[in-house]
Amino acid sequence: MSRTNVFLFSGQGSQYYQMGKELFLTNQTFRKWMFKQNEIMYDLTGESLLNHLYDQKRMKSELFDNLTFSHPAIFMVEVALAQALIEGGRTPDYVAGTSLGEFASAVVAGVLEVDEVIRILTTQARMVTAHCPPGGMITIIDNPALFEQEPILHENSELASVNYHQSFVISGTDEGLAVIQRYLDQQEKLYQRLPVRFAFHASYLDVVKPFYLDTLQGLTLRKPQIPFVSSVTGGILDELPQDYFWEIARQPIRFPQAVQTLESIGSHDYIDMGPSGTMKNFVHHNLPQGSTSECHTIMSPYSQDAANLEKLLGQNV
Contact 240, 190 (CB under 8 A): no
Q: What number of other Cβ atoms are within 10 A of residue 15's Cβ?
A: 24
Contact 73, 53 (CB under 8 A): yes
- In the residue annotation, 99 being an active-site residue is answered as yes
Q: How far apart are CA 76 and CA 313, in angstroms?
A: 21
List, in sequence order, every residue forming a beta bridge with 229; answer none if it has no partner: 96, 236
Catalytic residue among 99, 167, 171, 300: 99
Q: What number of other Cβ atoms are within 10 A of residue 248's Cβ?
A: 25
Q: SS3 of 67, please?
A: helix
- State residue 215 phi and psi, 5-degree precision: -65, -40
Task: Tell me the angle at which helices 114-131 and 67-87 cross, rounded to the nearest 10 degrees.
Answer: 160
Taking 3-state DSSP, the helix, strand and coil percentages for the chain, each rounded to the nearest 5, stand at 50, 15, 35
Give 146's contacts (C-beta < 8 A, 6+ positions apart).
Answer: 140, 153, 168
Fill in the DSSP letter of residue 253: B
Count H helices, E strands: the chain?
14, 10
- State residue 136 phi and psi, 5-degree precision: 175, -165
Give 51's contacts (C-beta < 8 A, 6+ positions apart).
Answer: none
Q: SS3 of 180, please?
A: helix
Active site residues: 99
